[in-house]
Amino acid sequence: SKIFITNGKEADVYVIFAVTGMIEKRGKMMKEISAFIVE
């Protein structure tokens, strides 16, 4: 889902976190999260 940030248009750099996959760890499914830096 998208979340809009107030005053986001004022920023020069954005850090975006996204779920990019699922892995099994210790018998549980866990989300893989990646961070993207956008100028």
DSSP 39: -
Contact 29, 23 (CB under 8 A): yes
pLDDT of residue 27: 94
pLDDT of residue 11: 85
Place of tokens 């005053």: 7
Render pLDDT for 1-39 as a digit per residue (tens, 0 to 9).
Answer: 777 777 778 889 989 999 999 999 999 999 999 999 999
Structure tokens at 9: 């248009």
Q: Among candidates 38, 12, 34, which has minimal Cα distance to 23?
A: 34
pLDDT of residue 24: 96
How far is residue 17's CA from residue 36's CA, in Å, rounded to a whole number? 6
pLDDT of residue 26: 93
pLDDT of residue 4: 79
pLDDT of residue 19: 95
